[in-house]
Amino acid sequence: PPGLYIVATPIGNLGDLSPRAASVLSRVETIAVEDSRVTAKLLQRIGIRRPMTPYHDHNADKVRPGLIARMASGPVALVSDAGTPLISDPGYKLVRDARAAGIAITTIPGPCAAIAALTLAGLPTDRFFFLGFLPSKEKARAEAIAEVAAIKATLILYESGPRLGATLKALAQGLGDREAAVVREISKTFEESVAAPLPDLAARYADLAPKGEIVVIVGPPGEQAATDPSDAEGLLRVALAHMP
């Protein structure tokens, strides 16, 4: 049926493309893609040939109305280069405008690096805050970190190898010695997850630009409240936690 299908694709391992995702991709009229070379490779590997419409930050405003018009008469899929569209990737305005135009919208859920990394970090998952990519300029980055320092939640950030060292250093400066994890190459051959306090991670990656794609997870602010002498309940909680 006509409409917009938000289709998640693998973040490394092709086996993570769901049968439903493959089935939808094989019957849509066009696939809105970030980079047609990347999606062409995926389609080739699963033996599908469908027309693609480039849809990325630089042409989105121009292309969007035409895509919306097509969704009214036939099915259109949106994919990104990897993972779940709209998550640090283009698409939210397409969904917004499709919604406004009364187009049926559905999602084929699947891989998302942020969620996959969260499940590997061994840090609290009950409340988390997704930051996407931090600004690359030092001052803006420090400001962005200061803005979230008081949030009582685990933080999730996307990062690239060359910037990892600087980012960890800034995080350690802005957030102190919280527990954290660097999760790399999820679902690929060299998947790796390194957990340590932020200053240790900053030291470890100071002169090391690891290859591949990276998610940084930072645990929530510590139990400082529990060591506040006026917080009797907190003290009791800490004492009980240390009982044999």
Binding residue (CB under 6 A) for ligand SAM from 64, 158, 170, 182: 158
Quick one: 170 or 215, whose CB is closer to ligand SAM? 215
Q: Which of 48, 87, 195, 196 binds ligand SAM (CB under 6 A)?
A: 87
Among 84, 91, 128, 171, binds ligand SAM (CB under 6 A): 84
Residue 69, SS3 per DSSP: helix
Q: Stretches 119-127, 141-149, 180-188, 232-240: which one binds ligand SAM (CB under 6 A)?
A: 180-188
Q: Distance between CA atoms of 19 and 90, rounded to whole angstroms? A: 24
DSSP 117-178: HHHHH-S--SSEEEEEEPPSSHHHHHHHHHHHTT--SEEEEEEEHHHHHHHHHHHHHHH-S-
Geometric angle at alpha carbon 72, from 67 and 77, rounded to 5°? 50
Q: Which is nearer to ligand SAM, 53 or 167 (CB)?
A: 167
Strand pairing class (213-218; 154-160): antiparallel
Residue 128 binding ligand SAM, by CB under 6 A: no
- 112 versus 198: smaller Cβ distance to ligand SAM: 112
Nearer to ligand SAM, 16 or 231 (CB): 16
What's the half-sphere exposure (Cβ side, CA atoms, 13 Å) at 203? Answer: 6
Distance CA 56, CA 205 (A): 32
Residue 113 found at the interface with ligand SAM (CB under 6 A): yes
- The only residue of 83, 91, 174, 220 in contact with ligand SAM, by rule CB under 6 A: 83
Pairwise CA distance, residues 178 & 151, whole Å: 13
**Which one among 80, 134, 167, 210 touches ligand SAM, defined by CB under 6 A?**
80
Query: Taking a C-beta distance cutoff of 8 angstroms, is the pair 225, 234 a contact?
Result: yes
Q: Should residue 210 be labelled a site residue for ligand SAM when binding is judged by CB under 6 A? A: no
Binds ligand SAM (CB under 6 A): choice among 18, 26, 160, 193 = 160
Binding site for ligand SAM (CB under 6 A): 11-12, 80, 82-84, 87-89, 112-114, 158-160, 183-188, 213-215
